[in-house]
Amino acid sequence: MSGRANPMDGIAEPVVDGLRGYLAHLHRERRLSDHTVSAYRHDITRFLRFVAEHTGEIVSLAVLDTLAPADYRAWLAYLMRPPRPLAPASVARARSSVLGFLVHLARHHGLERVGLRTLRPARVPKRAPRPLGIDQVRAVIDASAAPADGWQALRDQAILLLLYGAGLRINEALSLNRSDVGRSRDVLHIRGKGEKERLVPLLAPVREGIERYLAAAPDGAPGDPLFLGARGRRLGARAVQRRLQEIRAQLGLPDTATPHALRHSFATHLLEGGSDLRVLQELLGHARLSTTQRYTEVADPQLRATFERTHPRARR
């Protein structure tokens, strides 16, 4: 696909307006995060640009009405084409993003046909979580606070402590403000996916790691970001990922040792320690218990056997 200075070139204004309205709906009514809304925008824009080149016409509502299942198959095939094919999970997400947008156009802008509905989504196998061992987690956290790196090293250690010690998603940790850790010494109020709030216990080692960082970091107001980058702005996830890549290379850990692996480790180690699945579901902020149950696949085999023997949904 050829690049364009403006990604909306070749897209009719009513369709652009429909996209703006749909993204606003995702943000205000479905309360999706900025990161998720940005991913939807990227998927839909890429689809519209494909349609423009595929049909050779300005992408209007009338053109979208002419799209047949074969056209949608061509788009899905394009997403999987080398040299940069999307992973099956990313293709499934793109299909969901575009389908939601087309349904929005049908409800509010007069689109008559949503041919994508007729294509069954491909089944995407869910990979089991890949946690780190307890000794590996300790090594990662110890290695994160290199004294030569000053307050930034204490910041990195505090973030990793939150991922492992509180089971936070990386974006949840980085969205915290100073006031969020000042409300209570014992509990964190987390705003997770879909703006759902949950309470997470703040263990002493995690609290102490945050306090060490704040004592060394530049001063800030209660409403300022908790974790700052070098330029004084809110730290981005990519910076944490790069730091963990460095630690991974230093310690000889596998590529699966990512920030999210620390959250997986939190869940797995709690289960192995005897945590109840429902409690763990609340701590992780999972909407469905089935998502939490995946951790029984990688926990100690004896735990899995106990779960299958005792849990009512596991018995046949």
The answer to whether residue 193 is catalytic is: yes
Instruction: Find the catalytic residue in 41, 104, 269, 286.
Output: 286
CA atoms within 13 A on the CB side of 6: 6
CA dihedral 127, 128, 134, 137 (to 10 degrees): 20
Instruction: Find the catalytic residue in 109, 130, 189, 193.
Output: 193
Instruction: Find the catalytic residue in 41, 95, 155, 169.
Output: 169
Instruction: Find the catalytic residue in 113, 260, 294, 304.
Output: 260
The answer to whether residue 126 is catalytic is: no
- Token pair, residue 224, equals 């300022």
- Token pair, residue 205, equals 């080692």
* Contact call for residues 146 and 246 (beta carbons, < 8 A): no
The answer to whether residue 213 is catalytic is: no
Q: Taking Cα atoms as reference points, which of 108, 18, 35 lies closest to residue 8? A: 18
The answer to whether residue 127 is catalytic is: no
Per this entry, what is the length of the chain? Answer: 316
Query: Count of H helices and E strands in the chain?
Result: 14, 2
Q: Cα(221)–Cα(178) distance, rounded to whole angstroms?
A: 7
Q: Cα(13)–Cα(6) distance, rounded to whole angstroms?
A: 13
Q: Cα(258)–Cα(268) distance, rounded to whole angstroms?
A: 15
The answer to whether residue 286 is catalytic is: yes
Catalytic residues: 169, 193, 260, 263, 286, 295
